[in-house]
Amino acid sequence: MIKSVFTTLLLFTHVSVYCLNIQNPSKDKLLIEIVSYVLNKGHYSPSQINDQFSEEVYKNFLNGVDSRHLFFIQSDIDFFDSFKFEIDDQIKMSKIEFFNLSHQRYLQRLDQVKSFYPSLLNQSFDFSIDEKIDLDFENTSYSKSLSELKKQWRKFLKFNALGIYSNLKEDENRKKEKNPEYNLKADKEIEIETRKVLKEDMKYFFEARYDLNRNDYFSIYVNSIALQFDPHTSYFAPSAKDRFDQNISGKFEGIGARLTKRNQEVEIVDIISGGPVWRENSLRPGDKILKVTQINETPVDVVGMRLDDVIKLIKGPKGTKVILTVKKVDGSILDVTLTRDIIELEEAFAKSTIIEKDNIRYGLINLPRFYVDFQDYGKRNAATDVKYEIQKLKKQDVQGIIIDLRNNGGGSLQTVVDMAGYFIENGPIVQVKSTGGKKQILFDTDNEIEWNGALVLIVNEFSASASEILAAAFQDYRRGIVLGSKQTYGKGTVQNMIDLNKIISGNTYGDLGAMKLTTDKFYRINGGSTQLEGVKSDVIFPNRYSYIEVGEKDQENPLEWDKITPASYETFINEDRFLSIIEKSKKRLEINPYVKLIDDQAKLIKQRQENSEFTLNYKDLIKQKEIEDFESEKFKKLNEFNNTLSFYPTNTDLEKISSDSILIKKRERWEETLSKDIYLDEAINILKDLSKAGVDFKQVAQASK
């Protein structure tokens, strides 16, 4: 059924190959023409490209390049202002004059700042002066001149230095507490050490800036255009597209190591268990890669090379070999031959655990995202993995299941429909309205049910998109109770990835990347959209983000909320019985002392977030910290919370991890986190109430309709 959702998009892609007539423009101009064409023809609700559109692109691009006003000065902005209402015309004519001029000016300012900032760090900072810095950059004016920009940079550097200085002072005091004989370093000595640390930090800061090439900045410009259509429409340069595919599938082909670049050198920072580097067992975090050699080819020196380019050299198809020349932490140099493989990021996949309370077993399934391999749906995906986890839990006679969707930003729509079908006999799961207004209802048509027992879904403000479809479907069916934040993220739109290379034939400019394009809106089976409003929890349990602006409604240019005709469906539980279970939970939370603490903490976090002015005086900083520590004292009790639940792996998982020390450590760390999870405690209470109610979720409650 899902396949037809993409029909319009596929037709559009096919036709566009013949419609576009581009006469050998530069690659950037070509990209602008293709992107604007795709946006206008394929987007669910295309924006009008006019002067207002132009002004927003203008502001977003400058903010994307220099969000903290640390490079451009007011004369630059005065110069750029002449383009403020011309970008729409440039887009229509595939011109990039504004980008070229602003990018050139930015590089000029970058060089100037790089040339003068070291002199600012050669002068000592006086932390006794009564001085402040305002970090509300959005409402801060640009510096009027280079000399004023230097003053702004001095404040910026001093702000960072004060944090380092304060930490070093705390380290000294701790040493004195441990050893009364220890001689504290003088403040002057600490200040000198502070600037030495900051010099290193700034070297990496500028190294990262210079590591970006023109294409990286042009991607920012293209995305400033895409953002005006909606927050989730975006351009992916080729390397960014690869990262997106890895993120959504949870796997990639390579050597199984995470890399960073520091001081022009590529360093291993993490090794993925089970991957080639982990299996070879001769490399460690901290080792530096000097050269990369393909079999029977000349070694490539990667010192000073862009990190993305180094990664391209190292990655490759499964089964091929690559040789790394590595400088070990001890200074020795060796060549390591690795056979590339498919790396699966286990932390991205579904996992489960048994939870025991009062000698009754329950199951928890943690689902970080709705992952899928878009090239082959039959390979590992979120739906089949969750089915497997359910089966493992059923073998251990659990009396209820919790699905944890907190921080799950979504993913594949198909996996949601399949997954929802494991909990209902059959019926509609979600409605989809596509570009052009065509509506489709996506059904579970499989009569089999994997789990017909008690069910709770835990969500928060960062549960989005596919997470909201699943939560909404279960809520509308009264199939499970949703526990969590006041509402979920509120992303009720569907995106599809468009390969821009297929838009035009005869492309001689290399890989053009891809567009993630909003092509559909989805709706609950009750007819309402989750756009902006999200899914409102049946039982609201506050968290530290309760008063912070997060969610679709706080993004730029979100699509509006609306509703359509409901689908035909029947609920699984009598409404009165459903509401009585919710009411029991609410009453428990009303008398739970931790709930009040969490709510108070959320209010305090909101209050502190609103403050954008910070002191550059050390004594004032200490006073402020003392006030904050005093305010936070009562919240220490939250860190001491233990839900007294027992956690242990299923028999299947136990066999898998028992002989792997890394997996055992990961398991122990997860169980430690779960033991501090206050939300699980109430989720188990709700499961217990559902079980006591004796609801048979195989039977639809006709009386409730």
- Measured in degrees and rounded to the nearest 5, phi and psi for residue 323 equal -110, 125
pLDDT at 522 over 60: yes
**Of 367, 363, 424, 365, nearest in space to 394 by CA:** 363
**Of 423, 417, 418, nearest in space to 403 by CA:** 423
Contacts of residue 615, Cβ cutoff 8 Å, sequence gap at least 6: 131, 132, 621, 624
Report the percentage of the chain scoring pLDDT > 90: 62
What is the pLDDT, as a whole number, of residue 249? 53
Identify the residue with better confidence: 9 or 31.
31
CA trace torsion 598, 601, 606, 611 (10° rounding): -170
- Separation CA 80–CA 76 (nearest Å): 6
What is the pLDDT, as a whole number, of residue 264? 72
**Of 566, 469, 569, nearest in space to 527 by CA:** 566
Tokens matching residue 588? 């428990």
- Residue-wise pLDDT for 479-493, tens only, equals 999 999 999 999 999
pLDDT at 4 over 70: no
Q: How far is CA 408 from CA 469, 493, 671, in A?
A: 12, 15, 19
**Of 187, 126, 202, nearest in space to 158 by CA:** 126
Q: How many CA atoms lie within 13 A of 453 on its CB side?
A: 20
- Separation CA 518–CA 500 (nearest Å): 15
- Separation CA 104–CA 86 (nearest Å): 18
b/e map 573-610, b = 16+ CB within 10 Å:
bbeeebeebbebbeebbeeeebbebbbebbebbeeeee
- Separation CA 76–CA 96 (nearest Å): 17
- Residue-wise pLDDT for 594-620, tens only, equals 999 999 999 998 998 888 899 999 999
What confidence tier does 701 reach under pLDDT thresholds 50, 70, 90?
very low
Of 91-105, 294-308, 380-394, minimum mean pLDDT range? 294-308
User: Which domains are delineated in the chain?
Assistant: 48-228 (no CATH), 251-344 (2.30.42.10), 349-496+514-704 (3.90.226.10)
User: Which residue is listed with tokens 């996996």?
Assistant: 415
Mean pLDDT of 559-574: 91
What confidence tier does 415 reach under pLDDT thresholds 50, 70, 90?
very high
What is the pLDDT, as a whole number, of residue 537? 97
Single pTM value for the model: 0.83
Report the percentage of the chain scoring pLDDT > 70: 92
What is the pLDDT, as a whole number, of residue 219? 93
pLDDT at 57 over 60: yes
- Separation CA 455–CA 91 (nearest Å): 51
Most confident of 77-81, 293-297, 307-311: 77-81
What is the pLDDT, as a whole number, of residue 392? 97
- Residue-wise pLDDT for 357-390, tens only, equals 999 999 999 999 998 877 777 778 999 999 999 9
What is the pLDDT, as a whole number, of residue 93? 93
Mean pLDDT of 130-149: 92
- Separation CA 350–CA 428 (nearest Å): 24
pLDDT at 353 over 90: yes
- Residue-wise pLDDT for 650-686, tens only, equals 999 998 888 888 788 889 989 999 999 999 999 999 9
pLDDT at 21 over 50: no
From first CA to last CA, the distance across the chain in angstroms is: 27
What confidence tier does 449 reach under pLDDT thresholds 50, 70, 90?
very high
What is the pLDDT, as a whole number, of residue 245? 63
